[in-house]
Amino acid sequence: MAEPAAGGRGPGAAVSLAAGVVGVGALFLPWLAVARYGTISVAAWVFHLVVGALLVTALGARAEPARTPQPGLLAVALRAVPRYYLLGVSVGQAVVASVAGGFLATAAGVSASWAVFALAVLVPAAASGATGRRGPEWTPYAMLAVIVVVAAIAATGGGIAAGPSSVTGAGKAAFVMLFAFVGWEGAARLRGTRAGLLLAGAGLVGLVYVGLALFAAGAAGRAGAGEPGLPFPLAPFGHDALGRGVAAVAGVVCAVACARNFALVKVLGGAEFPRLKSPMWMVVPAAAAASGVLLLDAGWVRLEDLLSVPNAMALAVFGTAAAGAFATGRPATRLAAGAALLGYALLVPFAGLALAWPAAVLLATALTRYLRRNRGAPHQLRRL
């Protein structure tokens, strides 16, 4: 999962937005979507580009929000957003580490041992993340540049076998792709930026993702079903020395992203729950991610199953951000916010049981809020 990069309100805002969105997903999701849901998955990328452009316009291209009182449920949902991140990013590292392990194992010529490499990535990534330091501010921009170059090399390579296309498959693909678009909500930190710059940033994201999706769909069937030994498809680089070298670079990029994401988990955990400020608590998210890798290696889950947790959290974050912009924004921005909210609502049926995760977080947040407000009234607590 990517995260919002630091940015400003000038021309750099477009690149800042793109750097906050484009991440590890660019190195495997275009090919995963084609393999599982067919070439119609390209339409799902376009859907996310349109809805995301509406969301960033509503969040960023507006002045200070109107002083409208927030409804009770919306206030609880906004309070739950950091906790959505905390759970989603923690579980999401099982995916990032697996992808890193897949690339590194492919580079070493032992793709069947991808899980060993994934676990080898998790341990130092979690240890680095326990410090809470995420590196210099320019890191997301450097990663964006490397990801674009690496993905462009993959686009000129082979293809994979495409799955059957259907309307339902397009919806499922759109839900799976949520992983690649975390960072749209970072436009809220660019408030006051001209709409043209925000749309330019969304256009850069679309240029990368839709471009890769078109290449992956166009190359479908040109080669086999993917790298032998891997339970999920990755960007194809070939098996020559150059291909293995690029795969190694992709693996390192994913490992760096994993370490940065664990640092985000450390910061969020300490901010939300003061008792979790100790670096030792990072054993918990690291163990959760390692469990996901082992389940995937054992064949008990698919990569899409692991993606469902962070994706459900991302859907909750996007929906909450759109609802907040609609409820508190000025009339000129409510149309875009409402359209974005409707767009994300269309993905709810494809989330399935994964929606239980954000629902549980929302319920726990509401209960905690209630208990804190009534801490001085024991008779109220006895009614629960």
DSSP string, 16-53: HHHHHH--GGGGTHHHHHHHHH-TTHHHHHHHHHHHHH
Cα–Cα distance for residue pair 24/153, rounded to 1 Å: 15
Cα–Cα distance for residue pair 47/75, rounded to 1 Å: 28
What pLDDT does 156 receive?
74
Cα–Cα distance for residue pair 83/265, rounded to 1 Å: 10
What pLDDT does 79 receive?
84
Task: For the chain, report the end-to-end CA distance as a whole number of angstroms.
Answer: 37
Cα–Cα distance for residue pair 262/131, rounded to 1 Å: 9
User: Amino acid letter at 173?
Assistant: A
What pLDDT does 381 receive?
40
Cα–Cα distance for residue pair 308/355, rounded to 1 Å: 9
Could you give the 3-state DSSP secondary structure of residue 8? coil
Distance from the Cα of residue 211 to its chain's centroid: 19
Alpha-carbon separation of residue 118 from 2, 113, 155 (angstroms): 19, 9, 24
Structure tokens at 223: 């080669």
The residue among 62, 378, 366 whose CA lies nearest residue 198 is 62
Contact 209, 77 (CB under 8 A): no
What pLDDT does 9 receive?
56
Phi, psi values for residue 225, rounded to 5°: -90, 10
Cα–Cα distance for residue pair 265/262, rounded to 1 Å: 5
What pLDDT does 384 receive?
38
What pLDDT does 380 receive?
47
Instruction: For 104-155, give the secondary structure using H, E and C.
Output: HHHHHCCHHHHHHHHHHHHHHHHHHHCCCCCCCCCHHHHHHHHHHHHHHHHH
The residue among 327, 277, 321 whose CA lies nearest residue 131 is 277
The residue among 185, 184, 193 whose CA lies nearest residue 63 is 193
CB atoms within 10 A of CB 331: 7
What pLDDT does 31 receive?
92
Record the pTM: 0.89
Cα–Cα distance for residue pair 373/195, rounded to 1 Å: 40
What pLDDT does 374 receive?
72
What pLDDT does 2 receive?
44
CB atoms within 10 A of CB 250: 30
What pLDDT does 274 receive?
77
**Which portions of the chain are predicted below pLDDT 50?**
1-7, 63, 65-67, 224-225, 377-384
Q: What is the number of residues in the chain?
A: 384
Close Cβ partners of 139 (under 8 Å, ≥ 6 residues apart): 256, 260
Structure tokens at 270: 């300490």
What pLDDT does 39 receive?
92
What pLDDT does 331 receive?
76
Alpha-carbon separation of residue 172 from 22, 210, 307 (angstroms): 20, 17, 12
Contact 179, 314 (CB under 8 A): yes
The residue among 6, 282, 292, 318 whose CA lies nearest residue 137 is 6
What pLDDT does 138 receive?
81
